[in-house]
Structures are given as C-alpha cells and as structure tokens.
Amino acid sequence: MKYDIAVLPGDGIGPEVTAQAVEILKAVGRKFGHEFVLHQGKIGGCAIDACGEPLPAATLELCKKCDAVLLGAVGGPKWDSLPGNMRPEAGLLGIRAGLELFANLRPAVIYNALKSASPLRGDIIKDGIDILVVRELTGGMYFGHKGRLRQEGMPEAAFDTETYSAEEVERIARVAFEAAMKRSRRVTSVDKANVLESSRLWREVVVRIARDYPRVELNHMYVDNAAMQLVRNPAQFDVILTSNMFGDILSDEASMITGSIGMLPSASLGSGKLGLYEPIHGSAPDIAGQDKANPIAAILSLGMMMKYSLELDQAADLIERAVKNVLDRGYRTGDIMSEGARLTGTREMGRLIGEEIEKIG
C-alpha cells in the first residue's frame, strides 16, 4: 500500500527525534512492503522565521491531503517575546483546529526495564501499567461561555461554563470504545455526575454508546476518585474516557507516574482517519542539537499512527516490541539513564530500534 505522510519536525529537538521516527518509518516500509511518501512542512518557530507565521496555509493544506501527520515539537526562547497568536504554540492550536481534531489520545506505559523511573512504589507497579487517556479536546469549559461580572456594589466576579452537546460526547465516546477494542476492552468514563449536569448528560450518552460495543466493559468513576486511583492502583485502568478539563489534568498525572517524559507519545484524531501524532514533550531547547534527546516518544507516536490512522496494527505492535527489546537490552538515553545501563545518543537509539525491527517479527 502507498501512504502519504506529512512530516513537520518543528523546533529544538523536534527535527532530531523526528528524523529517527522517519528512519523507523522506512524500516517498517521495507519490512511490510509499504510505500510511505514523505511530505515535509514547516510549523512553529521555523515557520515564523521562513514565512512570518507559525502555521503557514501551505502546511495546513499539505496535512489535509495526507493520510497522517508526524510532528516533532515547537517553540524555543528565540520566539518567546512574540505576542500570543504569533508564537510557535499557536501553530499547534491552529493545526488541531484546522484538521478538526477533537480527540486526544495519550498512553501512559511503564516498561519493565524502566520501573525504577516511576515515582510510585514498586509493589504498586509490579504488574506494569498500560493506560490510554482519551481526552475530549475541543469542547467543555476551555471553550465555553466565559466572562467577568462587574456590578455596582458587588465584588468583582468571573465565570466559565462547562457545556457539552450529546453529539460531542458521542463522538469522543466512540473514539474511546474503538481504541478499547484494540486493547484490553475496558473503558472507565470519568466525570463528576454527582455534582455537574453536563456530567450527567456525559454519563447518559456514554452508557448509550456502550451498547454498540458489547465486548467492552464500561465503568464510571468520579474525577476525584480517578485522581486517587491513578496513584493508588493504576493497573486497574485500560482506557480512561474524559472531558477536556478533566483529561488535561488526568493525562498529565498519568504521564508523571511513568517518570519519563521522553518516552510518551500522543495522537490527536478527528472523525476521519487523518490524525496528528507527536511526542508529549516540548522542544527542550536546553539539549537541542546535542544528540542527547530521547527519540522514543517520537518513535512511539509513529507506532500510534500505524494503529489509528493507517490500520497497520502489526506494524504498530512491531514498533512497540522493538522499543521494549532495546530497553530490555539495557540501552538508555540520558533522560532515562540508570546505573549499569548503556548510554546512547539520539541517533544510536534510533538505529538500535531500527535494527530490532529488521530482526524481529
């Protein structure tokens, strides 16, 4: 099969880690006989320098024509003094809106070899952790009606509104159930239905959508309890389905229990197959250009692309296994280094994972 992939390396360590993900893409192509046609585009600070704006129209058009988008990271001190809508990060918001991506998927996995990096006690993570947080990305309080109330004789006040339509809940719920079908078939829907009317609607809709997925087990959890359970017994979770604001908080909490930001990928999806895949880390200007960055988050983002946009589940599994094997053999970049392990740079880590892909499967 032939696939068109937009590649937007961005700034800082973005180009370095993306280059390694591209090498893995080529290795997967050779292994399975697929043709991946790469289309380079600019986003973030490098786009500001070249075109005067963080998301040039040509980049968005390019992405719309492709099957999937692989993104590195954006931003850096060079552009920090620019106004908000001209900053590199505005490119990210723009591309998510422009491609109508309403679902954000963030796995939090603790690999056997990296258990010591987790801030959680060994007995809590002894069976490993593999959670996928599915967060609604374009609705809820962050985008609801908001304002300031200034009335004579009254203290100043402000409000933000959490609004969800049944349709918005339905489409994100479907993403979560579809993802669960590719995993352990358990969905935990997180809300605050004991207090919030929007959560009660959320729950009703999720229950209704669950009927279309009889093989998936659904349970509900209040967000305060979910925050506790994530550190008390994270192994109980498979897919966590939640709103924009709760997801913002819980996905960061889930990431931190893995203890390794350089390992964590993400996917943003819309109603079609087109998706945007990027590491959750930023451009890390402090280590840019030094061959120190961990490319695994970018490589695992590519793995997610295989699964969610291209439906190449076998290739996705192969990428995940190759990463795991290289870690099991004791290779580490600086951010995940531990005593007795073998220190590698960005390029060597990419090469090792590529070789592993050639070897196994």
Q: Does 282 bind ligand ATP (CB under 6 A)?
A: yes
Asked if residue 252 binds ligand ATP (CB under 6 A), the reply is no
Q: Is 123 a catalytic residue?
A: no
Site for ligand ATP contains 287 (CB under 6 A): yes
- CA-CA distance, 226 to 291, in Å (whole number)? 38
Is position 142 annotated as part of the catalytic site?
Answer: yes
| Closer Cβ to ligand ATP, 134 or 297, answer by number | 297
With contact defined as beta carbons under 8 Å apart, do 104 and 277 qualify? no
Asked about 277 being catalytic, the answer comes back as no
| Of the residues 180, 245, 274, 284, which one makes contact with ligand ATP according to CB under 6 A | 284
Nearest-Å Rg of the Cα atoms of the chain is 21
Per-residue HEC secondary structure of 248-281 comes to HHHHHHHHHCCCCHHHCEEEEECCCCCEEEEECC
The CB-of-291 to ligand ATP minimum distance in angstroms stands at: 11
Alpha-carbon gap, residue 243 to 307, rounded angstroms: 23
Helix (H, G, I), strand (E, B) or coil at 129: strand
Rule CB under 6 A: which of 73-92 touch ligand ATP? 75
Q: Which stretch binds ligand ATP (CB under 6 A): 128-136, 141-149, 185-193, 289-297?
A: 289-297
Yes or no: say if 162 and 141 are a contact pair by the CB < 8 Å rule: yes
Among 262, 265, 270, 350, interactor with ligand ATP by CB under 6 A? 262
Near ligand ATP in 2-31, by CB under 6 A: 13, 17
Q: Which is the catalytic residue, given 160, 212, 224, 313?
A: 224
Q: How far apart are CA 3 and CA 20, in angstroms?
A: 19
Cβ 335 to ligand ATP shortest distance, Å: 4
95 vs 180 by CB, closer to ligand ATP:
95
Using CB under 6 A as the criterion, what x/- string covers residues 296-325 for binding ligand ATP?
-x----------------------------
CB of 344 to ligand ATP, least distance (A): 12
Set 4, 248, 291, 317: catalytic member: 248
Q: Which structure tokens are listed for 108?
A: 């939090």
192 in catalytic set:
yes
How many residues bind ligand ATP (CB under 6 A)? The answer is 15
Give bridge partners of residue 160 from the DSSP assignment: 146
Of 59, 25, 20, residue with least CA distance to 39: 59
* DSSP code string of 24-82: HHHHHHHHHT-EEEEEE---THHHHHHHSSSS-HHHHHHHHHSSEEEEEE---GGGTTS
Q: Which of 49, 80, 252, 328 is catalytic?
A: 252
Residue 111 designated active-site: no
Residues with a known catalytic role: 142, 192, 224, 248, 252
List interacting residues with ligand ATP (CB under 6 A).
13, 17, 75, 261-262, 281-284, 286-287, 293-294, 297, 335
